A and B are shown apart, each in its own frame.
Chain A
């Protein structure tokens, strides 16, 4: 069992958990993820590692309540325990002194990009961060990202903070400017990663994306997380999760991510009924 030693509610439905997992904390690196199983009936599902402390033996994850599993997780607080917590999984982010690196993030991935920005900064890169959210109330860990960024560009859909618009707009402006960009890293919803990749492609700037297909074991055994890269099948859990965004078959990925929409609806309804005690769903 893996004990939760801290919980923070960052936004409505977005939570931070600091979990006691000393071995995982000792081995973790930027860009990796863990696979959790909340209870014996639970699914195995991946979450990106947002932070870790090898000395304290803790791993921090940030997640959004979306389906049954994340809702189950959201019921747990400080002192509760998670049944299974396997990691660190996936290949760590390739970190070296590339020159200028743009870190683009959106939604709650604005937290999971922090370790990458930090590692890039520590490797000597000039780090430009672009962060997007629907509105200014949905930002968090802004201070942390600012700390590791030489430049911060903020976008909101409603214009309540920074530039009004999508992250692709300042990204395109940067690509068109005199600044030489050596690498772009994008973490966020798949659609955002797709359009950022499409934005950088004509400029020939290497663009790394962190994919989040459905996974089960996370060790390369089941092939559920397979993605097509330039026509070659790759497993996101062991070959990724980071890939060259210009090579990813985005439409294939987006379709596969929706494989279980119908089943998720059934499970969510059952979960809601159980919470509300409708009495019809064991």
Chain B
């Protein structure tokens, strides 16, 4: 067995020239041998810093030990004990700022590839679920009914936890498929949709009833749920409302929000048009405005649709890029160009009302602003025109106000998020909220962590009734 201290095992990936031609997963996953060598590097520390770094407190050394000892069913059981969606987390969690950052090996050289090992175990479990024999419940049935609104990462987690804690759970989803941003937002090449649906099936296997096409705030109000006999509600409708630049020409044809562009591709499979009925514009010269993971996703999708040149336009510098390093690296490798300290001023149209160019200005960084990052300031006289035929705006999102509009007694913050305490308690005594609806755009795992905290408190509340 390899000794601790060796470099971590690299993640096998599709070759660049091949992967930019398809939507299949870029990272192909550890082989059993990779996983065992990597797992052997774990020091099995007594003080479990990695667990503290995990928002859902997975027993990381324990699952790695089980993996190393070849007891895969046990490794899977340990993961699932605290994390209902390990196949998702192993792929999209920013481990480098969480468990892996806390890993003791990070001080000496490179931390254990915890995320990759999590993914390896989760993928094994999908193929061998019968051998794992997970316990379906942790507590006896309570006879209490809970409603969860929104089937994204927070909603799925809260539903799974509440069901395992013995409650009768119904999960309401507005779209035709459960998964939320995992389905419409994150592309197939980072998170295959059958992985997400595998996790959804697991949540259903716990007894959770999922109602699709159920638009909260329109089909039912919060009060309606209580009238229907639900005794506690967890709101997890996310931050789905796209932000725009509010500049001239933004409504031209060929200017998309990242949400629309990604939804057409990920949820509606527009990259397979006309086999699928939903079309999407394939640009030749594409500009993606923004620097987060969503911007990287959109840029890499545009490339896979056949664009000749895809540029990320970001108003701050490379240091401030909010996207995961790994995603920025992947994007660079694939040939995405980066224009830092640049911001669009207006979009220009051709005779058909379609975008043909974008006026930009250069920026310089001033004093730090409220976010702690240095504020970009326009440079006078720096305007220039960039030829494009497709623009994708990826500036982030705000909570969708539909549910809140139907619940006037629910306290909402000025930025549109629901006011909630540490365990998600809202101003309504039987309503909890978690995920992006509370925090604004944040990670999948922090939404899941919030959902778990709420589920525990909701369990106490429901059992007190």
Contact = CB atoms under 8 A, between A and B. Distances in A.
B101 interface: no
Contacts of B184: 217, 221
A43 interface: yes
B213 A85 contact: yes
A43 B268 contact: yes
Nearest to A220: B400
Nearest to B282: A263
B279 A267 contact: yes
Contacts of B240: 219-221
A163 interface: no
A267 B257 contact: no
A84 interface: yes
A170 B211 CA distance: 48
A24 B180 CA distance: 22
A219 B400 contact: yes
A85 B213 CA distance: 7
Q: Which interface residue of A218, A220, A264 has the most chain B CB atoms within 10 A?
A: A220
B268 A222 contact: no
B238 to A, nearest CB: 9
Contacts of A84: 176, 212-213
Contacts of A264: 279
A180 to B, nearest CB: 33
A27 B273 contact: no
Contact residues of A: prevailing secondary structure: mixed
B218 A88 contact: yes
A86 B277 contact: no
Interface in A220-236: 220-224, 226-228, 233
A263 B273 CA distance: 9
Interface string A245-265: 000010010011011100110
A68 B277 contact: yes
Contacts of A69: 277
Contact of B260 (A68, A88, A89, A223): A223
Contacts of A260: 279
Given A37-B176, A86-B176, A219 B277 contact: no
A23 B242 CA distance: 28
A18 interface: no
A228 B255 CA distance: 14
A50 B401 CA distance: 27
B244 A41 contact: no
B15 interface: no
B241 A220 contact: yes
Contacts of A228: 251
Contacts, number: 118
A87 interface: yes
Interface in B256-272: 256-257, 259-260, 263-264, 268-269
Contacts of B264: 216
A73 B170 CA distance: 30
A44 B176 contact: yes
A86 B215 contact: yes
Contacts of A227: 251
B277 A43 contact: yes
A266 interface: yes
Contacts of A37: 176
A65 to B, nearest CB: 14
Nearest to A253: B251
B263 A23 contact: no
Nearest to B397: A221
A263 B276 contact: no
Contacts of A217: 174-175, 184, 263
Contacts of A263: 273-274, 279
Interface residues of B, number: 41
A223 B259 contact: yes
B215 A89 contact: yes
A216 B268 contact: yes
A161 interface: no
Given A43-B277, A221-B400, A83 B259 contact: no
Interface string A15-42: 0000000011001000010000100011
A238 interface: yes
B174 A86 contact: yes
Q: Which interface residue of B240, B246, B274, B400 has the most chain A CB atoms within 10 A?
A: B274
Contact of A222 (B174, B218, B251, B257): B257
Q: Which interface residue of B215, B218, B256, B257 has the most chain A CB atoms within 10 A?
A: B218
Contacts of B281: 259
A42 B272 CA distance: 12
B219 interface: yes
Interface in B168-197: 174-176, 184
B278 A43 contact: yes
Contact of B218 (A89, A221, A252): A89
A93 to B, nearest CB: 14
A223 B268 CA distance: 15
Interface string A54-79: 00000000000000110010000000
B274 A266 contact: yes
Contacts of B100: none
A41 B275 contact: yes
Given A84-B176, A222-B260, A267 B215 contact: no
Nearest to B174: A219
Interface string B213-239: 111001110000000000000000000
Contacts of B74: none
A282 interface: yes
A164 B237 CA distance: 51
Contacts of B220: 23, 27
B353 interface: yes
Contacts of A256: 251, 253
24 contacts: A37-B176, A41-B275, A41-B277, A43-B277, A84-B176, A216-B263, A216-B264, A216-B268, A217-B175, A219-B240, A221-B263, A223-B257, A223-B259, A223-B260, A224-B256, A224-B260, A228-B251, A238-B402, A252-B251, A255-B253, A255-B353, A258-B253, A264-B279, A267-B277
Given A222-B263, A252-B251, 7 more contacts: A27-B220, A43-B277, A43-B278, A89-B215, A217-B263, A219-B174, A256-B251
Interface of B: 174-176, 184, 212-215, 218-220, 240-242, 244, 246, 250-253, 256-257, 259-260, 263-264, 268-269, 273-279, 281, 352-353, 400-402
- Top 3 A-B pairs ranked by shortest CB distance? A263-B279, A255-B353, A86-B213
